[in-house]
Structure 1
C-alpha cells in the first residue's frame, strides 16, 4: 500500500510540474515584432485639407509659373498638369510616394516621366469653392512659392 501511495504522489507531482511548465511556455511573451500599419485607401482627415480654389491657383502659379496648366473641366474637379522644365517634379507631392498610390476619391496624383497630373475634388460652400488637397502638397507648394 505504501508503494502505491508513493507512485501516485510521484505521478501527481510530475503531472503538476509538466502542467506548470506548459502553462509558462504558452503565456511566455514573444519577442518584440514590428507591426505593419494597416493600409487604408483614404487619407485621414489630418492628412488632407480644404483650401480655397483661388488660393490654391495662386500658390501653384507662384511655385511653378509657366510649367503648370490649371483647369476646371467641371464644377466638381480641379485639374493640374505640370511639365518638367528644369524643376524637380516630385516636389509637387513632397516626395511622398504614398500619395501616388492612394485610392482616395477626393484627389488623385499621377507622375509619369516628366509630367504630373493631379485632380482634386471641389466642394462649394455658398459662393466659395474649396479643393481637397493633401497636406504634403499644400506644405511643399507653400514652401516653393515663399522661396521664389
Structure 2
C-alpha cells in the first residue's frame, strides 16, 4: 500500500485596502457584486475554485485589474477600493505596512487543497521518491497548525 499523498489545506479570503472606508469588519455579497476586482489569470480556461463558486452564485466580478500571480495582488489592492480573493496563508504573511486586510468570504468559497499525485509506475523511482520526500517535509505540520484569520 502506498503512503497517502501529502496535502496542504487553505481557505480563500477577501483582500481589501486597510483604508477602504466602504468596507467595515466584513463584506457582503452585494458589495462583491459592485466593487472593482483584482483577479489572477493563468490561461484561457484557468479559474480558481472560489471564483467558479462565486459565479455559480450569480456573482460576476467587475474586473478592473488582471495579474498573473497571487503575489502581486496585495500591491494592486492597497490604497484602492478593489477587492480580490487570496489564499489565507498568503494573506497572513502580508506585512501590515502594505495597507491591506483580509476578511472572510461572505459566501462558501470551498476549501483550497493542494495535493501531490503520481502514477503508480513511479512509486519506486528513486528521483520521484526523493521529490515526494522533499515536498512531504516541506508541508509537514502545516495542516496540524490552525492559524486563525488575521484581520488587519
Q: Would you say same fold, with TM above 0.5? A: no
Q: Could you say which structure has the higher strand fraction? A: 1
Q: Could you say which structure has the higher helix fraction? A: 1
What TM-score, normalized by structure 1, do the two folds share?
Answer: 0.21
- The higher-RCO structure (CA 8 Å, 6+ apart) is 2
What TM-score, normalized by structure 2, do the two folds share?
Answer: 0.21
